[in-house]
A and B are shown apart, each in its own frame.
Chain A
């Protein structure tokens, strides 16, 4: 049994919407990106219809460095989706990207076995059951 995110990840499939589609397409190209407002330069997440800062609809997608710090983490024992059962228990983490955006994600490798508050992380990508790549984080 391992808490590390390893392929194939048994997780619910993303419900891809027009707003979130670029996120998942870029993830499949091993790129982690967030919406960036072309008017005021602010990033936001999760993707929304307007910039929550200046309400501009002139939004683009911009890659991030992938460098992050570990904020917090939990281990799920409860089975909330049947498809996930074989991966239980699994670890879910909150990380802060260098660019100031917070993400909920999974950890891979040593970071999952021995998470340390504030540890430096870097993004990596792991396939789920349908072959979609999911951004997860490993020790930097």
Chain B
């Protein structure tokens, strides 16, 4: 038996901390701050909260103790990227099954102050003896293949970080706000060629909180609910020791098709895109998989500011992982909510009614949000 979840669940509250380097704070303190902001954002009585999902925080029990809640549904996801999309879909399923009425999703990252490097002995793998390591190395390998197969250039790739930096320059909370040009990108130092420094996400501290409930319960809360119209999911795990040389095309295509189908929308209805951007090439892969451009043509598609505010498809309007904050997808979902509510300030997308989130990753998810 299947039944539709479309439009029946909503994000009602969002909260974020400052982003940066906070060596004197801990995970729970950051999470508590984001939680307090989210509670204030929707005006919920905290005693009503009966669901808790955490990611990257060390322990669910200490999290609940810290913020003083007693849930009847709890789920702890690992601290990997891309758990945000998974977490939101799981929370919807829990609400749908009646396992909780109000789900709090909490994420905190203190990787900057802990000096996390994302490669080498921190993350041992079978290919270390040949010197192959890091998520950046994997994305570099994929992007070289994209260049060879389709003629994509690093100047085209530069459009992604340049657009996101422009958005960050309009976002007072973003970590990296100094404007960047395509030439700046081309002159930045190579990390793992063909990728350069500005193709890599930031590593910074911060926390994010989302509160989800049913659309019906959402009516009693402070702000207009941001409804989840559709979701889609497809993993690509079977050969996970290798870079995914098909650019997550098929999983992204399937997730996008599912999300659009449930939502009853077409590409033209999407006012803004939030695309998981741990590395710049993923954004190109996302555009192709979702079908915003034909396969292999994302390089040409993004030329001339397509992804910038005022362009054809404003993308990562907060600055994304590349320039706003490395909150592993969580902050991009908050940005979707803020754009739909019209809280985008200088970076507001005009007449923003429908926003799509996508993470083209080994765990691909897409979510389509709307406001009435």
Contact = CB atoms under 8 A, between A and B. Distances in A.
B144 interface: yes
Interface stretch (B66-74, B101-109, B184-192, B321-329): B184-192
Contacts of B149: 117
A14 B129 contact: yes
B141 A80 contact: no
Contacts, number: 97
Contact of B141 (A46, A94, A117): A94
Contact of A84 (B131, B140, B243): B131
B193 A80 contact: no
B366 interface: no
B368 to A, nearest CB: 33
- Most A CB within 10 A of own CB, among B121, B129, B149, B191: B129
A12 B128 contact: yes
Interface in A84-107: 84, 87, 89-90, 92, 94, 102, 104-106
A120 interface: no
A77 B192 CA distance: 6
Contact of B137 (A15, A74, A89): A74
A13 interface: yes
A64 interface: no
Interface residues of B, number: 36
A128 interface: yes
A20 interface: yes
Interface in B188-235: 189-195
Contacts of B126: 20, 46
Given A46-B241, A94-B141, A76 B127 contact: no
A134 B131 CA distance: 11
Interface in A22-80: 45-46, 52, 71-78, 80
B132 A72 contact: no
B191 A78 contact: yes
A136 B192 CA distance: 19
A77 B189 contact: yes
B62 interface: no
A92 B137 contact: yes
A81 B120 contact: yes
Interface of B: 117, 119-121, 124, 126-134, 136-137, 140-142, 144-145, 148-149, 189-195, 238-239, 241-243, 245
12 contacts: A11-B131, A20-B126, A46-B126, A74-B140, A74-B192, A74-B193, A78-B119, A80-B133, A81-B120, A92-B141, A94-B245, A106-B131
Given A73-B144, A81-B121, A84-B131, 8 more contacts: A12-B121, A12-B131, A74-B192, A74-B194, A87-B131, A104-B242, A105-B130, A117-B149
